[in-house]
Amino acid sequence: MTVLRLALLQSAGVLGDVAANLAELDAQAGEAADAGAGLLVTPEMFLTGYELGAQRTAAMADRAASELVPAVAAVARRHRIALLVGLPERLDGRVVNTAVLVGADGEVLGRHVKTHLFGQDERDAFVPGDRPVSVFDLAGVRVAVLICYDVEFPEAVRAAAAAGAHVVAVPTALMEPFSFTADVVIRARAWENQVYVAYANHCGREVDLAFVGLSSIVAPSGRVLAAAPPGDVTSSALLLADVDTAVVEAAQRENPYLADRRLDLHPGPATT
């Protein structure tokens, strides 16, 4: 049995102001570390803001390798906590929407590139990734990473579970009128795969988008372990819950969706 205390940040951030967002990341990382958390998950594109437009997004992506990721690594080292932070990057000449996982020692452990781009604005700004899910070992816990729209495709979460994930961490930027995704879909994804799901959303407004908040950490049973106040979509919130690998293993024995799949009828990733 391995237990990882997970922290999840819901925040409005400041659109286009990296310094302000780094300051919030630093403060929240310190609070999470003091609460015993080993990993802090931020919203999608948290470091830069989400609704930048293609030109500003590309400019921010050009700063990622030399400035943005090293700044995140410094925060992780300072507070001795792993960070999963959303930002744009330029990889192999392409601008992509990523969540970068940095270890408590400041080393980059990996990244997930968003595979399912939502709407024309994202398609104008980004090239989609080609890896269905990214899974990392963190202190004995298998952490899968998806970004926002990715989690709304059941195949992606099933691939994470089949790869042995204990928790699916989802930096997201869910806006009106899609609050039912946070209310219903996230709990369903946890239940149908018997994994934890940590859904870190923006709150507040950017340009003409109104984010719905409703961030949560959900257990393999579908029970909500921690959630941002549903009536407050303007204030930051730091959520905490424990991810217990023994709970995942017991849930998958008791509710054996993964084992009982008919792969001969519905081809998909085999359970590892």
Q: Residue 77's closest CA among 138, 29, 19, 22?
A: 29
CA-to-CA distance for 47 and 231, rounded, in angstroms? Answer: 25
Q: Does some domain include residue 244?
A: yes
Q: Does some domain include residue 148?
A: yes
10 pairs with which residues across the strands?
A: 237
Q: Residues of the chain with pLDDT > 70: what percent?
A: 99
Element housing 169 (H / E): strand 167-171
Is 24 catalytic? The answer is no
pTM: 0.96
CA-to-CA distance for 60 and 76, rounded, in angstroms? Answer: 21
The two beta strands, 224-227 and 216-218, are antiparallel
Q: For residues 199 and 216, is the Cβ–Cβ distance under 8 A?
A: yes
Kindly report the CA angle at 127 between 122 and 129, in degrees rounded to 5? 110
Identify the pLDDT of residue 272.
44
CA-to-CA distance for 259 and 21, rounded, in angstroms? Answer: 43
Q: Does some domain include residue 151?
A: yes
Annotated catalytic residue within 24, 51, 148, 206: 148
Average pLDDT over residues 189-216: 96
pLDDT per residue over 38-83, tens digit each? Answer: 999 999 999 999 999 999 999 999 999 999 999 999 999 999 999 9
Identify the pLDDT of residue 235.
79
Domain range for 166 is: 3-260
Q: Does some domain include residue 124?
A: yes
pLDDT per residue over 123-138, tens digit each? Answer: 999 999 999 889 999 9
Average pLDDT, the chain: 95
Reply yes or no on whether the pLDDT at 254 is more than 50. yes
Identify the pLDDT of residue 268.
72
Is 203 catalytic? The answer is no
pLDDT per residue over 87-106, tens digit each? Answer: 999 999 999 999 999 999 99
**Could you tell me the sign of the dihedral formed by the alpha carbons of 135, 137, 140, 145, in that order?**
negative
- What is the CATH number for 51? 3.60.110.10
Identify the pLDDT of residue 234.
81
Annotated catalytic residue within 24, 51, 89, 114: 114
Count of the separate structural domains present in the chain: 1
Tell me if residue 69 falls in helix, strand or coil: helix
Annotated catalytic residue within 24, 44, 122, 206: 44
Q: Does some domain include residue 266?
A: no
